[in-house]
């Protein structure tokens, strides 16, 4: 794979090209914006023809205060001056990008060390297996910003953790730790450290690499096709559009700094359609 095509993602190959590794290390705290979405689009497209059989995603990023970060969320600040149509187009693009990663013909394992909020939690829905280190934190803060999780958190999270746990995470914005994520099924394993998680991830991907690549891909696509997602994605899109059309998304963006500081935006009245 030509790794020079990526602007923000640190992409490398291991195991004679059979495993692609993505080390997240960009922006202030691995936020996902337009540049990063473009890289994930390119990666998903490249994996369609690349001989790689597995994908490993992780982050060793630390903030200036030493806090571990996986993906802190979407790059909300880049949307500050965007029109409603620009926001809708961008969210549709990120939804499609993550759907492309989800269906990539590889076994995708993520090792989460640190904060995985909003987009970070939604990104895990693209993975075939998820491992959490002790410092991992998960949550969906979007409704506190006047929007809904628009990259799978509304339409797909329930199929992983169940309806009521999805409602809990999305409606309360509560942050949960690695053990709670394991209990509700958001991750499949926990590990003692990032290094231990990476070792486990490599062991799993080594097993996949010894099997028929055609059979492995056929199995993954058969499972995902059996689940289906097209109608649910449209429902999520409609929910996000409601937030944009009623002005709640704009109110959330305008009050973003106050919300992060624990305040609240001047929300409008409750509207159902």
For residue 68 the two structure tokens come to: 């571990």
Q: What is the pLDDT of residue 79?
A: 86
Q: What is the pLDDT of residue 230?
A: 64
Write the pLDDT tens digit of every residue in 188-243: 999 999 999 999 999 999 999 989 999 999 999 888 888 766 677 788 888 888 88
Q: What is the pLDDT of residue 229?
A: 63
* Beta-strand relationship, 137-139 and 176-177: antiparallel
- 76 in Cβ contact with 253 (< 8 Å): yes
Q: What is the pLDDT of residue 257?
A: 86
Q: What is the pLDDT of residue 273?
A: 72
Residue extents of the structural domains in the chain? 3-260
Q: Rounded to the nearest 5°, which phi and psi values hold at 115? A: -75, 130
Q: What is the pLDDT of residue 72?
A: 93
The CATH code for residues 3-260 is 3.90.226.10
Q: What is the pTM of this model?
A: 0.89
What are the residue ranges in the chain where pLDDT is below 50?
A: none
């Amino acid at each position: 794979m030509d790794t020079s095509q990526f602007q923000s993602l640190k992409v490398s190959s291991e195991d004679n090209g059979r495993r692609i590794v993505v080390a997240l290390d960009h922006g202030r705290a691995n936020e996902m914006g337009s540049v990063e979405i473009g890289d994930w689009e390119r990666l998903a497209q490249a994996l369609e023809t690349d001989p790689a059989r597995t994908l490993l995603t992780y982050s060793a990023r630390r903030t200036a205060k030493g806090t571990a970060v996986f993906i802190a969320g979407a790059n909300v600040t880049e949307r500050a001056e965007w029109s409603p149509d620009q926001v809708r187009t961008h969210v549709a693009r990120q939804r499609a990008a993550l759907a492309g990663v989800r269906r990539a013909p590889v076994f995708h394992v993520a090792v989460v060390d640190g904060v995985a909020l909003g987009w970070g939690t939604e990104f895990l829905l693209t993975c075939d297996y998820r491992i959490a280190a002790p410092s991992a934190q998960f949550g969906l803060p979007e409704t506190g910003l006047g929007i809904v999780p628009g990259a799978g958190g509304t339409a797909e999270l329930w199929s992983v953790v169940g309806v009521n746990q999805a409602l809990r995470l999305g409606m309360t914005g509560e942050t949960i730790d690695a053990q709670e994520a394991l209990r509700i099924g958001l991750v499949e394993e926990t590990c003692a450290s990032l290094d231990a998680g990476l070792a486990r991830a490599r062991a799993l991907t080594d097993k996949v690499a010894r099997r028929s690549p055609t059979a492995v891909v056929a199995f993954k696509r058969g499972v995902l096709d059996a689940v289906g997602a097209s109608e649910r994605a449209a429902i999520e899109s409609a929910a996000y559009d409601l937030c944009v059309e009623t002005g709640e998304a704009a109110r959330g963006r305008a009050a973003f700094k106050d919300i992060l500081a624990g305040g609240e935006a001047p929300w409008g009245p409750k509207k159902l359609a």
